[in-house]
């Protein structure tokens, strides 16, 4: 049988309302709903070839064959697709990011979104967007949000089928800019999968969950109304509540570096004293995402570039969800 092949592209996303902690770790069902937009300029491109001559899955990431836990995580995700498609074969996966690894920009969301779309399409399965989002969620929770376009909400859901993400405003709805200040290029010591597992050990997680729906609705309204002042307030609050949980978990997760805190203070000062439309949010690492309006972006970028200690600065805007692409090397 001829190898079956497809290539997909997906972007990572930045959460405005964060996902931290699961009600079911195996299914990655989140304890609370979250909101994000895809980062158009950052992309993962993944080709999947199902090949009956293979005796195991082969995975190449950024040109290097992977083994150990990284290979197992991809193979485990392919197991879900094999089960869904009732397909017994193995696959060759070739995945590359257009942003350097080691910039501290998480790529698991774009990786599992692109993998889910390419692997199912190569088997000629056309899943409805909700099902594709739920499938991507099994690889990495936030990957569910890299499937739809534009501004995206991921609902907690009650089971596998009902926990998916969908778009609530198109990419063009609001020309926000994410200026990502890379503070450290070191690999984080505790990844998010382990972090979600220990979230319930924080005495603050129950309060975070109890108030999450309110922040989710407030953020969705701020996005829909293009109300930057309201957005900034809820994005920073939600970020601080999540990092409060991280810092008070057992063991504590302290992702920030001194420069992270400096940037937090500066961003607030720029907004409150200088009237710049910018706010901050931080994932499971020390890098600071400075979310600003298109009008404020050039001034914020200039100010960030003038600061000592920032290793790299990336600019991203709201983008498309995962989509298929054809490549000249596709087998006919
Ligand atoms: O999808 P994961 O397991 O990598 O978790 C992502 C967690 C955060 O980036 C910290 C928050 C979020 O909602 O993206």
pLDDT of the residue at 185:
79
Any atom of ligand 1 within 6 Å of the Cβ of 283:
yes
pLDDT of the residue at 106:
72
Expressed in angstroms and rounded, the spacing between residue 259 Cα and the centre of ligand 1 is 21
Expressed in angstroms and rounded, the spacing between residue 266 Cα and the centre of ligand 1 is 24
Q: Report the distance separating Cα 148 and Cα 137, nearest Å.
A: 12
Does residue 253 sit in helix, strand or coil? coil
Determine contact, residues 232/280, Cβ cutoff 8 Å. no
Say how many residues make up the chain: 332
Question: At 256, phi and psi to the nearest 5?
Answer: -80, 150
pLDDT of the residue at 3:
76
Radius of gyration in angstroms for the set of CA atoms belonging to the chain, rounded to a whole number: 19
Any atom of ligand 1 within 6 Å of the Cβ of 239:
no
Expressed in angstroms and rounded, the spacing between residue 143 Cα and the centre of ligand 1 is 9
pLDDT tens per residue, the chain (332 residues)? 677 999 999 999 999 999 999 999 999 999 999 999 999 999 999 999 999 999 999 999 999 999 999 999 999 999 999 999 998 899 999 999 998 776 667 789 999 999 999 999 999 999 999 999 999 999 999 999 999 999 999 999 999 999 999 999 999 999 999 999 999 877 777 889 999 999 999 999 999 999 999 999 999 999 999 999 999 999 999 999 999 999 999 999 999 999 999 999 999 999 999 999 999 999 999 999 999 999 999 999 999 999 999 999 999 999 999 999 986 444 43
92 CB-contact burial (10 Å; exposed 0-12 / middle 13-18 / buried 19+): middle
Q: Report the distance separating Cα 231 and Cα 215, nearest Å.
A: 10
Two structure tokens written together for 70: 């990284």
CA 208 to chain centre: 20
- DSSP class of residue 146 equals G
- Each residue of 48-77: b (16+ CB within 10 Å) or e? bbbbeeeeebbbebeeeebeeeebebbbeb
Residues 6+ apart with CB under 8 A from 236: 268, 279, 280, 281
Any atom of ligand 1 within 6 Å of the Cβ of 23:
no
């Amino acid at each position: 049988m001829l190898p079956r092949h497809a290539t997909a592209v997906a972007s990572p996303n930045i959460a405005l309302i964060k996902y931290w902690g699961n009600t079911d770790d195996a299914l990655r069902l989140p304890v609370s709903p979250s909101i994000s937009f895809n980062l158009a300029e950052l992309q993962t491109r993944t080709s999947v070839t199902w090949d009956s001559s293979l005796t195991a899955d082969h995975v190449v990431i950024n040109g290097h064959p992977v083994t150990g836990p990284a290979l197992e995580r991809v193979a485990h995700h392919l197991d879900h697709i094999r089960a869904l498609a009732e397909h017994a074969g193995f696959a060759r996966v070739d995945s590359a990011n257009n942003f350097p690894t080691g910039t501290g920009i998480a790529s698991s969301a774009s990786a599992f979104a692109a993998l889910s779309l390419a692997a199912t399409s190569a088997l000629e399965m056309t899943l409805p967007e909700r099902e594709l989002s739920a499938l991507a969620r099994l690889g990495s929770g936030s990957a569910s949000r890299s499937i739809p376009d534009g501004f995206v909400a991921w609902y907690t859901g009650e089971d596998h089928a009902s926990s998916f993400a969908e778009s609530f405003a198109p990419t063009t709805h609001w020309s926000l800019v994410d200026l990502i200040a890379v503070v450290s290029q070191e690999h984080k010591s505790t990844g998010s999968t382990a972090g979600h597992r220990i979230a319930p050990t924080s005495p603050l997680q129950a309060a975070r969950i109890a108030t999450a729906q309110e922040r989710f609705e407030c953020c969705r309204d701020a996005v829909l109304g293009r109300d930057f002042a309201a957005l900034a307030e809820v994005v920073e609050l939600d970020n601080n509540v999540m990092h409060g949980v991280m810092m008070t978990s057992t063991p504590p997760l302290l992702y920030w570096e001194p420069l992270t805190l400096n940037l937090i203070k500066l961003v607030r000062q720029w907004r409150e004293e200088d009237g710049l439309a910018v706010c901050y949010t931080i994932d499971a690492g020390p890098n600071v995402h400075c979310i600003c309006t298109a009008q404020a972006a050039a001034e914020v970028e200039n100010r960030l570039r003038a600061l000592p200690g920032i290793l790299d600065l990336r600019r991203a805007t709201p983008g498309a969800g995962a989509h298929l692409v054809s490549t000249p090397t596709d087998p006919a």
